[in-house]
Amino acid sequence: MQVKTKLLGMAVLLHMFTYFGSRILASDMYHFDMTTPIDRRIGLVPWTIVIYMGCYIFWGINYYLGYMQEDREAEAFFLSEIIAKLICLFFYLVIPTTCIRPAVTEPGVFESAVRWLYKVDAPDNLFPSIHCLTSWLCVVAVRNQERIPAWYKKVSVFLAVLICISTLTTKQHVIVDVAAGVLCAEISFRIANRAHKKNTYTK
């Protein structure tokens, strides 16, 4: 089995544990609210749930492109995913966070979708934002690939930024969550690249 395939499998398992396992482990812990006055001024924009939920298509395409690049680059990419989720797991267990969501009582398709989202997704595991982290790793997945057209790289940045904004306008995250998610992606990729150059990740 290829190393990149093994790393992909490890990344999937770690993601599941980070997202669901940490929620169980930290359930009885005090959760910090990192909402700022600026966050309180950002209103709920129900239609942006289309962007927030539609991100899975973007993720699937770019992670596939990340997997299909040269083996060593793909290995470094999925290693960065693993490192990023380990960082998230650390913060979810050491500094668990939450936020207060608005009451959504208005009728409408988008409003109903927001209510459903709030019902199935608890307001925890917020800092760093996995939504923003994954979206920015989608940018990382393609930006150094010569065979990827420049226009698609720009589209990827645009979509990643839109998704980050949607996490705020759906009131799923606050500003520090977004910033931490993007920063976590960049830091993880730099660490993975250094390991890639030293060929230490295969060990």
For strands 97-98 and 32-33, give the pairing.
parallel
pTM more than 0.85: yes
| Closest to 84 in 3D by CA, of 32, 125, 7, 137 | 137
Rounded to an integer, what distance in angstroms lies between the CA atom of residue 59 and that of residue 10?
Answer: 17
pLDDT band at 197 (very low <50, low <70, confident <90, very high): low
pLDDT band at 201 (very low <50, low <70, confident <90, very high): low
What angle is formed at CA 200 by the lines to CA 196 and CA 203, rounded to 5 degrees?
130
Yes or no: say if 167 and 132 are a contact pair by the CB < 8 Å rule.
yes
Dihedrals phi, psi of 79, to nearest 5 degrees: -65, -40
For the chain, give the percent of residues with pLDDT over 70: 96
Q: How do residues 13-54 score in pLDDT, each as one tens digit?
A: 999 999 999 999 999 999 999 999 999 999 999 999 999 999
